Structure 1
Amino acid sequence: MPIRNADIAAILEEIADLLEIDGANVFRIRAYHNAARILKELGQDVRTMVEKGEDLTRLPGIGADLAGKIKEIVDTGRCKVLDDLHKRLPPAIVELLRIPGLGPKRVRVLYRELGIQTLEQLRRAVREHRIRSLPGFGEKTEMHIADALEAHGGGVGRYTRVAADQYAAPLLDYLNTVPGIDKVVIAGSYRRAKETVGDLDILATGSSEGLVMQRFVEYDDVEEILSQGPTRASVLLRGGLQVDFRVVPKESYGAALHYFTGSKAHNIAIRRLGQERGLKINEYGVFRGDKRVAGDTEESVFASVGLPFIPAELREDQGEIEAAKAGYLPKLVELSDLKGDLHAHTKASDGHNTILEMAQAAKSHGLQYLAITEHSRRLTVAHGLDPVRLLKQIDEIDKLNETLDGIVLLKGIEVDILEDGSLDLPDDVLGRLDIVVGAVHSRFGLSRIKQTERILRAMDRPYFNILAHPSGRLIGRREPYEVDMSRIIRKAKERGCFLELNANPERLDLVDSHCRMAREEGVLVSLNSDAHSILDFRNLRYAVGQARRGWLEPGDVLNTRSLKELRPLLCGTR
């Protein structure tokens, strides 16, 4: 059975988590976490690299030891390190890690201090109020754990966009080689660019439906066939992702694509418009009585109810139909609109490549400028820069810019916003930079009022430009901190600051609704990769998808500007 990058990354993540519970060396833990992140975001198929005998140590952050572990996983589907950890630690303890808010550090405390190994033991400890007395917990954390346990179920999980892509891309490649298939596309929440997907809905047109279905269920990553018929089949892939596949007639393709793209609320609204015109709209077409009047294309479906084409990312019944009627649908931003990237890291902090390598990679992605924004000194785990090291990097960037062709490097920093709202570096140093990106990396548990005031005070600093990953969330791993985003957005407008939409597929932060709020207030959003390696610039496409869900046009995005247009905006707060 094939093994995908996401499968390997999941094993490495579990090793890292269990090592942390076991009290292993922090650098060893971090190495596994970093390797997992790299593989999840990698555009190359690691299994293919192993089969070709390619040197895995050429990948950023992968040394000889980790390369050997990855090869072992590809060859056997297992890893001896993980097997040994499973023998040493209670088997049910992994389930605790699936409770939001319970990372390995807290699970380790629960296990060491209270002997908690299972979900039931955790529920009992919550009921008996034994958790609040533990160091680093408290009553509020105990209540959050209680809520998370209440919501926790055994249902099918959701996949980040990048994880879903690692299954979707090879499957689409396979289907495109199947005789009889003319056209194949992924619909559903994936097509609407939702930040996570629960399953994949794939539509195809073609002939010999029975043969096509048979070839689909014979795909080598299929673990279980849930159903199979002449025009529809449903399977589970080995990684647990469900895929529903349908072959539809060409004359129904547009109607089926519209129907299975959704959302449900959008489809209901479109059907209601059809009913007002005496039409019946379903996955088979648009009908007046028994006569099909449209449905071969999505454009024909919308035209039948008097609307222009509505991009898939907007189809949530959140004003897109009214906007289409009135003729003011946004002309959504596209990846090709981006002129630069304003958040990236190098080996100087916690990145994996040199400044020159990052500049060359950004240029290869069509970018005209790149801001180098290392972490600041407080983030010691990321080898953050103090004033001396930052000033040295400023000189290095100035010298590099004299030799670079086709791309300009901007001097920047991702400076920590401290609990009192001050910044981690002094103004006389920040004033030497082209761009200052402020970020919250600690004290996520502050109250809504305190967290909001903390960020507002930081935005008042004279050299503050962009608020990075504004809610601090990690999808499926860490809930957003409590903050009044409407106040943050209004402050950004007042100060001439900007908000980041972080492209890391585990962040995608801003959320779509906050993108719309920013747009309505006239606050520009910067679509940044937060790249830690030359491979991460590919993630910008995920930021674009989120931005489109947030109705952003090119003019709403800071880094669609040329460098000449950008510089005055960055100086606006100074």
Structure 2
Amino acid sequence: MVALRGRVWDSGVMQNGALSELFGRMADVMEILAEDRFRVNTYRKVARIIADTPVDIGELLESGRLAEVPGIGKSSLAKIEQFVHTGRIEAHEALLRRIPAGLLELLRIPSMGPKSVKAVYEALGVTGMADLKAALESGAVAELPGFGRKKTDQLLKGIAFLEKATGRIRLDQAAEAAQIVGAFLAEIGQVKAIVPAGSLRRRCETIGDVDILVTVDEADVPRDEGRRTMDERRGAAGMGTGRMPVLRAGETLATHKGRTPSAQEAVIEAFTAAPFVDEVLASGPTKGSARIRTVEALVQVDVRVVAAGSFGAACQYFTGSKAHNVALRELAVKAGLKLNEYGLFDGEKPVAAAEEADIYKALGLDYIDPRLREDRGEIEAARNHTLPAPVSLKDIRGDLHMHTTASDGEDAIEEMAQAARRLGYRFICITDHSQSSAIANGLSARRLARQVKAIRTLNEKSRDLTILAGVELDILADGRLDFDDAVLADLDYVTASIHSGMAGDREKLTTRMLKAMDSRYVNCISHPTGRLINERGAMDLDMEQVVRHAARTHTALEVNANPWRLDLKDTHCRMAVEAGAMLAIGTDAHSAAGLTLMAYGVDTAARGWATKKDLLNGMTVRQLQVFVNKKR
């Protein structure tokens, strides 16, 4: 948590990612519309520049340094400035109005890029998922140039998976929505603290609605300050100041007019009138609900204004999980107490309310990290003082999965190393793809040998960061490895992955993975289940057998930190920890900016009760070398 003008907000995810994706989406729409190729490429270039920028884009804008960045022209700079100040880009909204809304939904389907969307739209009049499915099933799509039976089968499978999706969004999408709303609310004079709650605070892999709790100090600022400030900001952005007023019980618009809103109402009115709001769902004196538009999704955000005296209790209650709260209330009842969102009470006497930790303490429990609150034994452990200290970012000494321009990455080894230094890392491992990953420009044995030599040369000059020479090694269909032992013996670290043939039966897939672990040169299995959240299901593996074999063979299992993957998932992490298998968090970064995804992997490992000692990332370089050599 960081202070922001005297208020508190979790700055977790910078706006760079959202802005980068927005420029990328503008390029997608322009490509669908067959607009000027130069402009399309310009937007894609700007998207990449923003994504690769390691500091907050807003800071660069305010300092004037953004205008000096090569590739950022006046037009793009104006759009960035508008986004930073208002959370929107008018040019983006204008582009969206030129195509059927359903076309963008088609881009969620694997193998369906802008050119494919353009083709089915122009040739078949497809304007959404239902249209595309019908055209695929009729065979019409297969007759179009560039498609064919194989691709249409893939598209049908992709649609089938999306239809089974829960309607929940990924963790990073929810974090983006919370960041947009939180930064906006932090500018209101009365706001003293802002905390995300619900499954976002617990860092679940998918989120339903985003919950945000706010507390205000009514005595500190005139009650109309929030309204005045927000009106000024909207006026400066060239927007109207019309809003949905908050009506009290029995109040009408006529009786409401002229009344000064309370501090709580000012917050809700400001939120529901914010420029990023697409639709207001509800607006009351202390709670507002709205759908806000992010780059990828419409996200429901609920903002609650809570009294400072019960803020801790509200944080505990609205963070959940439901099962955790039920167990906690049962514990309170056994102690003759009552627990709700307003506090812990002995009869009518408050016992604890303002501070969340005080509630747990009063119930005889150690404080429970929000990431552990799933009723999976954490309450008993807190009572017995045996809760693990969940891994945190400060425990991470290095990143063990990344790609460079040698395969399908966007930055060179030196640029990845510089980004790692800025993060305070002591080591990184370069793991470009092996030769069978032709689509990812996989390295031949000769190219890999040249890369190893280049890494050794860089290490001779580096004193603060060790660059490990590795590879992401394909596990072939029969369980064989993509390189022989003679090639692997020259590497510092090897992570192996299944990238194809993922639809096999349980026994064959499990045997294939276990066979790879038997190699003395395989130190880790990357993204073990192969899932893509809300896009592709996991492979059918016997995970109990996998984690036991990993522990037995001294093979780590990766927690892939990319929020599309989070693989292993939290329950599998817990399974691995209990089996004694080591975990290795890897960002799978394909650019320097991608290294900042580490937090997602850390949170997932923490949800699986992993501590620093359970992670290769928590080791020193020497300790990591001992781990590798123990198997060899």
TM > 0.5 fold call:
yes
In the TM superposition, 1:120-159 aligns within 5 A as 120-121=130-131, 135-136=149-150, 146=160, 148-149=162-163, 151=164, 157-159=168-170
SS in 2 for 1:535: helix
Residue aligning to 1:77 = 90
- 1:216/1:347 CA distance change after superposition, 3 Å: farther
Asked whether the equivalents of residues 5 and 47 of structure 1 are also in contact (C-alpha less than 8 Å), the reply is no
**Map of 2:266 onto structure 1:** 214
**Could you tell me how far apart the structure 2 residues matched to 1:105 and 1:237 are?**
25
CA distance in 1, matches of 2:446, 2:631: 25
Give the CA deviation at 1:71: 6.5
- Partner SS state of residue 188, structure 2: coil
Mapping 1:193-272, distance limit 5 Å: 193-208=203-218, 210-215=262-267, 217-218=269-270, 220-223=274-277, 224-239=279-294, 240-272=298-330
Q: Give the match for residue 555 of structure 1.
A: 613
Q: Counterpart in 1 of 2:558? A: 500
Report the TM-score, using the length of structure 2 for normalisation: 0.76
The structure 1 residue matched to 2:484, chosen from 413, 426, 429, is 426
Report the CA distance shift for 1:10/1:180 in structure 2 as closer, same or farther (over 3 A). closer
Q: Does 1:473 align with 2:534?
A: no
1:395-421, Cα deviation, whole Å (9 max, x unpaired):
111111111111111111111222222
2:463 to 405, 410, 413: 405
**Counterpart contact for 2:337–2:345, Cα < 8 Å:** yes
* Residue 340 of structure 2: aligned partner: 282
Choose which of 340, 359, 375 in structure 2 pairs with 1:301: 359
The alpha-carbon deviation at position 345 of structure 1 amounts to: 2.0
* C-alpha distance in structure 1 between counterparts of 2:574 and 2:17, whole Å: 34
The residue aligned with 2:176 is 166
Tell me the CA shift for residue 58 of structure 1: 5.3
Determine if contact 2:46/2:72 at 8 Å carries over to the other structure. Answer: no
- Between the aligned partners of 2:418 and 2:130, the Cα distance in structure 1 is 52
| 1:204 to 1:472, Cα distance in 2 relative to 1, 3 A | same
Q: 2:185 aligns with which of 146, 150, 175?
A: 175
Give deviations 1:116-156, integer Å, cap 9, x for gaps: 9354456667988999997337999968855754x368x6x
Q: CA deviation at 1:94?
A: 4.3
Q: Deviation at 1:184?
A: 2.2
Instruction: Spell out the pairing of 1:307-386 with structure 2 (5 A cutoff).
Output: 307-386=365-444
Find the aligned partners of 2:549 and 2:45 in 1 and give their Cα distance. 35
- Could you tell me how far apart the structure 1 residues matched to 2:456 and 2:289 are? 56
SS of the residue 1:308 aligns to: coil
Distance 1:17 1:383 in 2: 28
Instruction: Return the offset for 1:29.
Output: 11
In structure 1, runs of 5+ residues without a counterpart are none
| CA deviation after TM superposition for structure 1 residue 258, in Å | 0.2
CA distance 1:407–1:152, change in 2 (3 Å) = closer
Of stretches 333-342 and 173-182 in structure 1, the one that deviates more from structure 2 is: 173-182
Task: Give CA deviations for 1:418-453 in whole Å, capped at 9, x if unaligned.
Answer: 222222222211110110111122223233333222
Change (3 A) 1:33 1:491: farther
Amino acid at match of 2:207: V
Name the SS for the 2:309 alignment partner: helix
Query: CA distance change for structure 1 residues 286 and 376 in 2, over 3 Å: closer, same or farther?
Result: same
Change (3 A) 1:41 1:294: farther
State the SS of the aligned residue for 1:6.
Answer: helix
The answer to whether the 8 A contact 2:532-2:565 is kept is yes
1:252-306 per-residue CA deviation (whole Å, 9 max, x = no partner) reads 1111110011111111111111122222111011122222222222222223332
Give how far 1:363 is off: 2.0
Tell me if structure 2 keeps the 8 A contact 1:344–1:532. yes
Contact 1:227 1:233 survives alignment (8 Å): yes
Q: Name the CA distance, whole Å, in 1 between partners of 2:512 and 2:471.
A: 19
Which residue of 511, 522, 526 maps to 1:464? 522
Structure-2 residue corresponding to 1:486 = 544
Letter in 2 for 1:206: V
Determine helix, strand or coil for the equivalent of 2:528. Answer: coil
TM superposition shift of 1:522: 0.3
**Whole-Å Cα distance in 1 between the matches of residues 438 and 188 of structure 2?**
52
How many angstroms does 1:321 deviate by?
A: 1.6
1:532 aligns with 2:545: no
The 1:321/1:214 distance shift into structure 2, 3 A limit, reads: same
User: Shift of residue 183 of structure 1?
Assistant: 2.4
Displacement of 1:328 after TM fit?
1.8
State the SS of the aligned residue for 1:455. Answer: helix
Counterpart residue type for residue 236 of structure 1: R
Question: Equivalent residue of 1:242, what SS?
Answer: strand
Deviation at 1:499, TM superposition (A): 0.7
Distance 1:257 1:120 in 2: 41
2-side partners of 1:33 and 1:255: how far apart?
A: 46
In structure 1, C-alpha distance between the alignment counterparts of 2:23 and 2:542, rounded to whole Å: 37
Q: Give per-residue Cα distances to partners, 1:1-57, cap 9 Å, x unaligned.
A: xx98536515625855996999xx9xx999988976886786655577678775589
Residue 565 of structure 1: aligned partner:
623
CA spacing shift, 1:109–1:228, aligned 2, 3 Å? closer
CA distance in 1, matches of 2:469, 2:16: 37
Q: Which amino acid aligns with 1:327?
A: H
Which is worse superposed, 202-211 or 409-418? 202-211
The answer for the alignment partner of 1:6 in structure 2 is 18
Deviation of the 1:312 alpha carbon: 0.3
Q: How much has 1:357 moved relative to structure 2?
A: 2.5
Q: 1:513 maps to what in 2?
A: 571
Please report how far the alpha carbon of residue 227 of structure 1 lies from its aligned counterpart in structure 2 after TM superposition.
3.0
Aligned counterparts of 2:46 and 2:607: Cα–Cα separation in 1 = 30
Q: Quick one: distance in 2 between partners of 1:330 and 1:526? A: 18
TM-score (norm 1): 0.84
- 1:189 paired with 2:199, answer yes
Paired with 2:553 and 2:152, the residues of 1 have a C-alpha distance of 37
Deviation of the 1:569 alpha carbon: 0.6
Residue 556 of structure 1: how far off its partner (Å): 0.9
Mean alpha-carbon deviation: is it higher for 557-566 or for 485-494? 485-494
Give per-residue Cα distances to partners, 1:147-186, cap 9 Å, x unaligned: 754x368x6x52432x333343354344334323332211
Identity among equivalent positions (%) equals 37
**Whole-angstrom CA distance in 2 between matches of 1:346 and 1:180:** 47
Q: What letter matches 2:175 in structure 1?
A: D
Q: What corresponds to 2:254 in structure 1? A: none
- Conserved? CA contact 1:181–1:212, under 8 Å: no
Evaluate the alpha carbon distance shift between residue 91 and residue 251 of structure 1 in structure 2; reply closer, same or farther with a 3 A threshold. closer
